[in-house]
Amino acid sequence: MILLLCINGRNSILPTPFNVYALMKRYTRSDNVPGKVVIVGGGIAGCAAAISARKAGARVVVLERTDMLLGGANRAGRMNYNGKMILAEECKAMGVGEVHQALESITLHRGNIVDEEHAYIYNTAVAEPTIRRLLRDRGVELQFYKLVNKVFVEKGRFRAVAARSSSPVQGDAFIDATAGYGGVNNCRKYGAGCVMCVYYRCPTFGNRVSIATLAGAPELARYRADGTPGLMSGSTRLYKDSLDPDLQAELKAKGAVSVKLPAEMVDHSHQGKIGEIRTSRQLERLNMVDIGSCVMCVALHPMPLDQLRKLPGLRNATVEDPLGGTIGGNSVGKLSMAPRDDTLRVQGFHNLFVAGEKAGPGTGVDETISSGVLAGFNAARVAVGEEPLVLPTGTAIGDLVHFSGELMQTREGLGQGCSAGHGLYFERMKQLGFYTTDVAAIRARVEKAGVKDIFARTP
Ligand SMILES: Cc1cc2nc3c(=O)[nH]c(=O)nc-3n(C[C@H](O)[C@H](O)[C@H](O)COP(=O)(O)OP(=O)(O)OC[C@H]3O[C@@H](n4cnc5c(N)ncnc54)[C@H](O)[C@@H]3O)c2cc1C
């Protein structure tokens, strides 16, 4: 008799009662055609994975905890800047540019804050419906209000996952794209408390749960300079109309503005809480970006309103996100990564992959799309009995996956982070000659590495 393990949200491992197995069979009888990929987490990484798995011929279902796709990317907006552009162009050259192109189709501006160049700023007000349409048009099944908190695993093979009060969803391969933000318990323990960020909304939809962790995979976190687990989100968002009229007009025209702060208002200690994603020059400025739904203040730590309103141009400032950030905190993330190989398969599991922030210390829209497309492609391959692909390190995406995997081996490595926008990995991109704004050269490099249009092929 097959011993099936049912692992529930309280981390207990129980032999599955016969009736649960029978229930799974009953609800999944029509799913017996091989090639089904189940993605848990509908953030930008889960969405990119879904598109890529569909292109590779799989049937795809995305289970998302909230009522919306895109997770943190609902308040991001800035993509393609600095080394991120290389990742975007490589994805397109490898045959899976759909998510980038959808976000580029809603570009609001092409402005830059200090230390960044060639950014696209997508309109966060319409990003979610744009991506939702893309996924539905491509035949991806989307299920919302599904906080997955049970996994069914047999000898290292995932068989099914289930959300609270829902029937198990069976699959041939699975992707954990649940990232590492929140929930309320962690924001209380490692932050200032729940600051009601508008994208995760844990009090309403429940705390994040990782299916890799549920199944027993080790859970890695990044640590702040003072040793506290998890990093704080590195920006605050304000209502556009609450800015001084001159600033509003400048932002409307340019899309992005950096204004030098008086020395007494600069707090470099903030860097230790948010990681490598902001430069010193950004911390010395008020960096504002019109992201459509609001104005993102990059590198600005939430603070009491009276203090915020002393900053240049902000005498009427009102906070849009995080709603409760004026208590001096932000959402806490980077709390959950799973050790994996260069195919993004989780160590110890045959058919479980990770994507996005769950896959390593790489953070950012373009970085998480890149790992998403690789995880989706590989899950589709394993779902039909094929070997997963390792991207050559002659491509920036292959190098990023490999290098961030190496960083995950040590706490010090994890601490350095891995963003193509700034810091260690952007410097590495320059040293290795990946960084160029010549799109033809990027395409030629992908072709030379033998992976041109690789993601456009079915296994
Ligand atoms: C406020 C903010 C601003 C940012 N700005 C920028 C920017 O300007 N440029 C840039 O490049 N990057 C930016 N980033 C970083 C970038 O947005 C993130 O790195 C990226 O969106 C992470 O994507 P993800 O899919 O890995 O994770 P997430 O967006 O966290 O998605 C994870 C998803 O999984 C779901 N989930 C969790 N557990 C479960 C479960 N058990 N069952 C079902 N669903 C589950 C969650 O609800 C969520 O939708 C920003 C991030 C934030 C938070």
pLDDT tens-digit readout, 162-197: 998 899 999 999 999 999 999 999 999 999 999 999
E strand or H helix that includes residue 365: helix 365-383
Residue 19 confidence (pLDDT) above 90: no
Give the C-alpha distances (Å, rounded to integers) separating 26 from 19, 147, 174: 10, 21, 20
The CATH fold assigned to 5-109+123-224+334-456 is FAD/NAD(P)-binding domain (3.50.50)
Is any atom of ligand 1 closer than 6 Å to the C-beta of 78? yes
Predicted pLDDT of residue 269: 82
Q: Please give the distance, rounded to the nearest whole angstrom, from the Cα atom of residue 264 to the centre of ligand 1.
A: 33
370 CA from centroid of ligand 1 (Å): 14
Exposure class string for 141-156: b at 16+ Cβ within 10 A, else e: bbeeebbbbbbbbeee
CB atoms within 10 A of CB 457: 11
* Domain parsing of the chain, residue ranges: 5-109+123-224+334-456, 232-331
CA 310 to centroid of ligand 1, rounded, Å: 31
- Contact, 291 vs 161, CB < 8 A? no
What mean pLDDT comes out for the span 53-82? 97
Residue 241: CB atoms within 10 A of its CB come to 11
| Ligand 1 proximity of 399 Cβ (cutoff 6 Å) | no
| pLDDT given at position 459 | 58
pLDDT tens-place string over residues 210-230: 999 999 999 999 998 888 999
Q: From the centroid of its chain, how far is CA 438?
A: 27
Q: From the CB of 360, is ligand 1 less than 6 Å away?
A: no
Tell me if 222 CB under 6 Å of ligand 1: no
Amino acid identity of 423?
G
Residue 302: predicted pLDDT? 87
pLDDT tops 80 at residue 18: no
Query: Does residue 356's CB lie within 6 angstroms of at least one atom of ligand 1?
Result: yes
Name the token pair of 255.
């899309």
Q: Please say if the pLDDT value at position 328 is more than 90.
A: no
Given a cut of 80, whether residue 346 has pLDDT beyond it is yes
Q: Which residue bears the tokens 């058919």? A: 351
> Residue 159: enclosing H or E segment and its boundaries?
strand 157-163
- CA 52 – ligand 1 centroid, Å: 18
> Residue 9: pLDDT above 80?
no
Residue 179 CA, ligand 1 centroid: distance in Å: 7
Going by C-beta distance under 8 Å and a sequence separation of 6 or more, which residues neighbour residue 179?
41, 43, 45, 71, 72, 208, 333, 336, 356, 357, 358
Residue 362 Cα: closest atom of ligand 1: 19
- Residue of 319, 363, 370, 426 with the most ligand 1 atoms within 8 Å of its CB, for mutation: 363
For ligand 1, atom 53, the nearest C-alpha belongs to 72
Section 97-112 average pLDDT: 97
| Direct distance between the N- and C-terminal alpha carbons of the chain, in angstroms, rounded to an integer | 33
Contacts of 422 (CB under 8 A, 6+ apart): 82, 115, 276, 277, 278, 279
pLDDT category at 327 given cuts 50, 70, 90 is: very high
Q: Is the pLDDT of residue 29 over 50?
A: no
User: Residue 336: CB within 6 Å of ligand 1?
Assistant: no
Nearest-CA residue for atom 21 of ligand 1: 73
**pLDDT value, residue 33:** 62
44 within ligand 1 shell (Cβ under 6 A): yes
CA atoms of 138 and 149, how far apart (whole Å): 27
Ligand 1: residue of 144, 222, 232, 235 to mutate (most ligand atoms within 8 A of CB) is 235
- C-alpha 349 to ligand 1 mean position (Å): 24
Tell me if 378 CB under 6 Å of ligand 1: no
Contacts of 62 (CB under 8 A, 6+ apart): 39, 41, 42, 46, 47, 50, 69, 135, 140, 141, 142, 143
The pLDDT value given to residue 151 = 98
Dihedral angle, C-alpha 301, 302, 304, 310, nearest 10 °: 60
- Measured CA angle at 315 (ends 313, 317), to 5 deg: 90
3-state secondary structure of 393: coil
The three-class DSSP label of residue 65 is: coil
User: Per-residue pLDDT tens for 376-422?
Assistant: 999 999 999 999 999 999 999 999 999 999 999 999 999 888 999 99
As a residue count, the chain comes to 459
- Look at residue 32 in the predicted model and tell me its pLDDT: 52
Instruction: Name residue 298's beta-bridge partners.
Output: 235, 287
- Determine which residue's CA is closest to atom 9 belonging to ligand 1: 78
Dist. CA 227 → ligand 1 center (Å): 23
**Ligand 1: which atom is nearest the Cα of residue 181?**
30
What is the amino acid identity at position 339?
A: P
Residue 182: CB within 6 Å of ligand 1? no
Note whether 144 and 40 are within 8 A (CB): no
| Rounded-to-integer distance, Cα 169 and Cα 179, Å | 20
Measuring CA to CA, which residue among 70, 33, 39 is closest to residue 52?
39
Q: Pick the residue with more confidence: 353 or 458? A: 353
Q: What percent of the chain has pLDDT over 90?
A: 85
CA distances from 452 to 48, 56, 93, 429, 437 (A): 18, 15, 6, 20, 18
**Tokens at 445, concatenated:** 């490099």
- Give residue 255's region: left, alpha or beta (phi > 0; psi -120 to 50): left
Q: Is the CB of 63 under 6 A from ligand 1?
A: yes
pLDDT at 128 over 80: yes
Query: Which DSSP string do the residues of 3-33 spell out, in sequence order?
Result: --EEEETT--EEEPPHHHHHHHHHHHGGG-S
pLDDT of 331 higher than 70: yes
CB of 365 shorter than 6 A to ligand 1: yes
Nearest CA among 282, 325, 363, 311 for reference residue 114: 282
Instruction: Give the tens place of pLDDT for each residue, 265-279.
Output: 888 888 888 877 789
Whether the CB of 418 sits within 6 Å of ligand 1: no
- Please check the confidence at residue 130 and state whether its pLDDT lies above 80: yes
Q: Residue with structure tokens 């696209």?
A: 120
Name which of 154-168, 205-219, 256-270, 418-432 the model is least confident about.
256-270
Predicted pLDDT of residue 242: 97
For residue 288, report the distance from its CA to the centre of ligand 1, in Å: 21
Instruction: Confirm or reject: Cβ of 75 under 6 Å from ligand 1.
Output: yes
Mean pLDDT of 148-163: 98
10 vs 309, which has greater pLDDT?
Answer: 309
For the record, the structure tokens of 92 come out as 């397109």
- The half-sphere exposure of 344 on its side-chain side, counting CA atoms within 13 A, is 37
Residue-level pLDDT at 315: 97
Angstrom distance (rounded) from CA 146 to CA 104: 29
